Amino acid sequence: MDRDNRFHDDARRIFGTLAREDRLTHSYVLVETVAIAQRRLGDTAVRRMMNELMPVLTTVWIDEATHAAGVAALLAALPTRVSLTDFVSFEVMRSHAISRAFAFDDDFRKAGFDVAS
């Protein structure tokens, strides 16, 4: 959504190649993304995200067990720069047998996942 972001063009290209069933996210990513978009890009970007992007994603709503597993993984990894959201993502990916992430940092690769490129 941020045309000035260094990954913008790659993100648009990669997202466009993902099949509908590969467009899965979870509620923690949604919360984190809305907060960042609201703070950095403003209300128009948040509206676009909610009205245009979210309808083409499948959202997994994080339950207590998945949250607890993410927290346990985070605590076991401390000190780490990997976020709770990423640890929860790893749990969601494993539980849904997902091996490839749409990400631009090395956290997913280091956790054993392929990264869409």
Domains and CATH numbers, the chain: 8-115 (3.40.50.1010)
Q: Which residue has the higher pLDDT, 4 or 88?
A: 88
Tell whether the model's pLDDT for residue 36 goes beyond 70.
Answer: yes
User: What is the chain's length?
Assistant: 117
Token pair of 84 as six digits: 């709770």
Q: Is the peptide bond before 55 cis (omega within 30 degrees of 0)?
A: no
* pLDDT at residue 23, as a whole number: 83
Tell whether the model's pLDDT for residue 7 goes beyond 90.
Answer: no
For 51-107, what is each residue's pLDDT tens digit? 988 888 899 999 999 999 999 999 999 999 999 999 999 999 999 999 988 887 889
Q: For 114, phi and psi rounded to 5 degrees?
A: -80, 155
Q: For 24, phi and psi rounded to 5 degrees?
A: -110, 135
- CA neighbor of 94 nearest in space, from 27, 24, 16, 28: 24
Q: Which residue has the higher pLDDT, 7 or 88?
A: 88
